[in-house]
Structure 1
């Protein structure tokens, strides 16, 4: 997702930036489990590392995630996340996007966002995730497997003291019952799409059941 660029002289000052979906979000993508990523020729360090990450995830089990790579751009992934059992997110599904910076990855982290809105004090309204692994704790050795595991961990244990939304963080600390009531209502409103519906909406192809 990108922030829309506007001329202040024409549009005035915009209090809240308008976010636009990345074009690649609606480009056909193939299930990582079926994608022949090992056969793709690469020409630079970034592509080589992304291929390594893709192959690593093909070989390791991540029960909450179904990963798709764009057919014409391996630097853009789409991920279906199933809410983890034991959390208030269980029974719901979300779509996430992953965009690897073509010039700086793995020195810099990928941009990972929830496309489906999610109620969480450490995730912004536009889907940005606040976690150390994507900030100060990021290193060139950090794997996507580790990142996805930490996202699940954040759903189990939100960190209100490091909240992106101060209001949600304060609500979780002072009135957790109200926080989780809001969370459930949000899930019902935004996250009830089935996996099949998400695959159709976002052109996620060759999905194995």
Structure 2
């Protein structure tokens, strides 16, 4: 049994979607970051960086924070959605790291300035809006000749997809990136993605262009 500590954010949804795809048994524990529950001592013992998601694998006793590390651990545990070795493994990890280092931090800043604090910092709004468009362009080019970012459907796609699901928050017209739109729509139709999107609670339907 996996205990998942999470909330309704892109980073949280990455892990709940993966758990649903892998079919691993888990219990979801809501950590309401709007109420600062991520600073509770019990949660900090699992996630010292006071960020969701985090997991505890009750079978092994392993506790992990950081969504990328969690995804690699779970995929390796289940033997699915991440090749065990060779170039295929590193290609998936390459695009997972692209999400961790670029898509997550940059689109998160776009949310902060474009959606939650518009008009307060024009330079920041322009910077992160442009970076959002650049990242979408990179993804669109990558998907021009393949169905998924690393060839087969993998943890890399699962990591990127929840961030793209907030395209409206980023001021992005998904139709301007037809390969991303096709990829996004196909993943949105997966039953495991639909179930994982609503963890730890349903807050709305999956946004569609």
Same fold by TM-score greater than 0.5: no
Considering Cα pairs closer than 8 Å and 6+ residues apart, tell me whether 1 or 2 has the greater RCO: 2
More strand by share: 1
Q: TM-score, normalised by structure 2?
A: 0.25
**Which of 1 and 2 has greater Rg?**
1
More helix by share: 2
